[in-house]
Amino acid sequence: MKMSMQSLMSMQTALKQATVQGNARSHNEGKINVLKSEMKLDGGGSEEQKERLKQLEAKDEKITASQMGSLGDINKQINETAKKEREEAKEKEKTEKKDKVEIKKKDDNKEKKPATVPEDAGGIYDAQGIVQVVAETTGKVSAPAEGEKAEGAVDVRA
């Protein structure tokens, strides 16, 4: 996955924030656990301890929400980058398909055969005996009479 430098830096910053928030949360949870232990030893704790516990638990919720927001930002950036890369790949694929040109090589190995032309037809031949120009036809097409076998001949004589 290719990411822009700006995306990488932004994710790195968000990850650092999430790490700092995680450390703060761990520290805060330690304070909560110590306070709960003190309250248990004191037989339920004083009003001051109960108030302090409420504050620490509220702070823990804020830190957790903030950390989840940072991690959500990272996830969002990763998803956006992946989506952008998929779109760019599709566009590149379309462009490559348009740019591809199929080149077919002419088969030079085929044997060249001269055209079959009646001997009395006018025409110009090249050195290999292949007809280059055929004289104009009379424009008449003869149809066989009933019962005759059709040969499909056209009168090409001048």
Whether residue 158 has pLDDT greater than 50: no
**pLDDT of res. 36:** 92
Rounded mean pLDDT of 10-27?
90
pLDDT at 72 over 50: yes
Is residue 47 scored above 80 in pLDDT? yes
Q: And the tokens for 114? A: 């001269």
- Cα 61 from Cα 52, distance rounded (Å): 14
Query: Among residues 63, 31, 64, which one has the least CA distance to residue 49?
Result: 31
Q: Phi/psi of residue 144, each to 5°? A: -70, 150
Local confidence band at 98 (pLDDT 50, 70, 90 cut-offs): confident
Has residue 51 got a pLDDT over 90?
Answer: yes
What confidence tier does 45 reach under pLDDT thresholds 50, 70, 90?
A: confident
Say how far apart CA 6 and CA 110 lie, in whole Å: 61
What percentage of the chain reaches a pLDDT higher than 90?
26
Instruction: Let me know: does 141 contact 158? Beta carbons within 8 Å.
Output: no
Nearest to 23 by CA among 73, 64, 69: 64
pTM confidence score? 0.50
Query: Is the model's pLDDT at 68 over the cut of 60?
Result: yes
C-alpha 67/C-alpha 28 separation (Å) is 14
For range 98-112, the mean pLDDT = 62
Judge whether residue 144 has pLDDT over 70.
Answer: no
Q: What is the DSSP string of 11-47?
A: HHHHHHHHHHHHHHHHHHHHHHHHHHHHHHHTTS--H
Q: Is the per-residue pLDDT at 41 higher than 70?
A: yes
65-80 average pLDDT score: 89
Per-residue model confidence (pLDDT) at position 20:
93
